[in-house]
């Protein structure tokens, strides 16, 4: 999805100029029961767990044995509702557990790192893990997470080193990280192969949490490869196991919009998600679809709803990448300052191409070109990075360099979505 920070999905071109009607991939009959489901089992389970462990904690003066499960319940509440305050409550509890625990400080440290990653506080997550990795610990579990935070922080040599440390063919945690590494290196076939192996491991264990995570992420990879029907089927398999899984439903909504150009159905799916799950970025997808339908005022209204929501202090920098894109059009200097801060927080090709966009929109075409050449070209395979590179090249009169990027981007129509694809055609 255009507005998902890390993922959806490179695709073979689905030509909107084709004279042959495309076969519809999705069918409402397949997923209507999940949209109409009012049981909200994930929310119910998380709420019951929070209430149980809260009562246990209140009755225990030390509380160290209850803090872990209670923080986990708050994290599950965040997963179920998108309410960032639950993530903040979990952080407070985890920090308390880390302070008072005598025997499991590294377990709490890993939990804290997970929490900080969810808040996009990647440097802090790295610092926590590095601090406790040096002590007596379960090294392997911490090494898994060190790989994760080094990837998020753009420290790819260190990530490669830790990938070597955790190497264990057939190990689920190794396979999913090898898939991520392969995708980062631009080898999508290998990424899919390793994720499919991880799926086999999850299924052999009959582990619902692992299968839910793997099916939904494999759906992303299949979409990335243009295997839209396979992606759809993975999202359905996710919903079979967890009927209120917002991520899988959103994946189907994106297929409805980006592949089938059915904004009515995509909005129907989103509306059902938003009853329980309140993540602000749904507004951006609604804004994009309104723009596609030519409804400028509605698009602006949804964009403003997003900006208002994520400007609340509890969100911190979680949605800065999206704000940079928005402000680059409306307030380029603000976008530029925000982009510089993002690069300071984590210097990756993804943050640098946003910096280049902000520099370009602020009238600094040469600086934008330097940023692209030094930090983006040859360092990422993300279509948005390619699009921003093409904009910078065009602004600097480098039409020859624009042409191959445009050609490649037009094979990523599914990921870019109809609105951005039209802008690519105009390059």
Confidence of residue 236 (pLDDT cuts 50, 70, 90): very high
Confidence of residue 197 (pLDDT cuts 50, 70, 90): very high
Task: Look at residue 354 and tell me if it is in a domain.
Answer: yes
Total-model pTM: 0.91
CA 315, CA 389: separation in Å to the nearest integer?
29
Task: Look at residue 411 and tell me if it is in a domain.
Answer: yes
Task: Look at residue 153 and tell me if it is in a domain.
Answer: no
- How many domains in the chain? 1
Which CATH number characterizes residue 399's domain? 1.25.40.10
Task: Look at residue 368 and tell me if it is in a domain.
Answer: yes
CA 348, CA 159: separation in Å to the nearest integer?
13
Task: Look at residue 392 and tell me if it is in a domain.
Answer: yes
Task: Look at residue 297 and tell me if it is in a domain.
Answer: no
Question: What residues make up the domain containing 386?
Answer: 319-427
| pLDDT digit string, tens, across residues 16-61 | 333 334 579 999 999 999 998 777 889 999 999 999 999 888 766 6
Percentage, residues of the chain above pLDDT 70: 93
Q: Which residue do the tokens 């520099």 mark?
A: 359
18's tokens? 């084709």
pLDDT average, residue stretch 180-193: 96
| pLDDT digit string, tens, across residues 98-148 | 999 888 889 999 999 999 999 999 999 999 999 999 766 678 999 999 999
Task: Look at residue 251 and tell me if it is in a domain.
Answer: no
Q: What is the pLDDT of residue 108?
A: 94
pLDDT average, residue stretch 216-227: 94
Confidence of residue 5 (pLDDT cuts 50, 70, 90): very low
| pLDDT digit string, tens, across residues 142-170 | 999 999 999 999 999 999 999 999 999 99
Task: Look at residue 233 and tell me if it is in a domain.
Answer: no
């Amino acid at each position: 999805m255009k507005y998902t920070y890390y993922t959806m999905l490179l695709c073979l071109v689905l030509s909107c100029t084709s004279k042959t009607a495309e076969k519809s991939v999705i069918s409402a009959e397949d997923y209507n029961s999940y949209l109409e489901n009012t049981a909200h089992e994930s929310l119910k389970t998380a709420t019951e767990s929070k209430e149980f462990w809260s009562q246990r904690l209140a009755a225990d003066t030390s509380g160290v044995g209850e803090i872990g499960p209670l923080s986990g319940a708050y994290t599950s509440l965040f997963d179920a509702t998108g309410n960032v305050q639950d993530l903040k409550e979990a952080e407070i509890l985890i920090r308390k557990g880390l302070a008072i625990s005598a025997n499991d400080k590294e377990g709490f440290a890993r939990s804290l790192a997970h929490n900080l990653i969810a808040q996009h506080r990647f440097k802090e997550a790295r610092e926590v893990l590095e601090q406790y990795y040096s002590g007596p610990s379960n090294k392997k579990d911490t090494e898994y997470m060190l790989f994760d935070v080094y990837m998020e922080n753009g420290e790819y040599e260190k990530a490669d080193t830790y990938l070597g440390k955790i190497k264990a063919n057939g190990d689920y945690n190794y396979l999913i990280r090898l898939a991520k590494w392969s995708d980062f290196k631009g080898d999508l076939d290998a990424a899919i192969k390793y994720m499919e192996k991880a799926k086999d491991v999850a299924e052999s264990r009959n582990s619902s949490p692992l299968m839910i995570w793997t099916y939904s992420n494999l759906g992303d990879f299949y979409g990335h490869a243009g295997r839209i029907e396979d992606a759809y089927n993975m999202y359905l398999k996710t919903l079979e196991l967890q009927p209120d899984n917002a991520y899988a439903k959103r994946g189907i909504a994106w297929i409805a919009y980006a592949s089938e150009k059915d904004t009515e159905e995509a909005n129907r799916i989103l509306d059902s998600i938003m009853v329980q799950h309140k993540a602000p970025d749904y507004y951006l997808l609604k804004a994009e679809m309104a723009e596609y339908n030519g409804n400028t005022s509605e698009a602006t209204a949804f964009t403003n709803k997003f900006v208002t929501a994520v400007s609340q202090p509890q969100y911190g920098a979680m949605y800065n990448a999206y704000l940079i894109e928005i402000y680059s059009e409306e307030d380029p200097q603000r976008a530029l300052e925000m982009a510089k801060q993002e690069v300071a927080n984590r210097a990756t090709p993804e943050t640098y191409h946003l910096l280049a966009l902000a520099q370009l929109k602020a009238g600094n075409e040469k600086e934008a070109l330097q940023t692209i050449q030094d930090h983006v070209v040859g360092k990422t395979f993300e279509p948005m990075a390619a699009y921003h590179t093409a904009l910078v090249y065009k602004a600097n009169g480098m039409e020859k360099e624009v042409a191959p990027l445009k050609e490649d981007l037009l094979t990523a129509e599914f990921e870019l979505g109809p609105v951005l694809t039209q802008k690519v055609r105009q390059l």
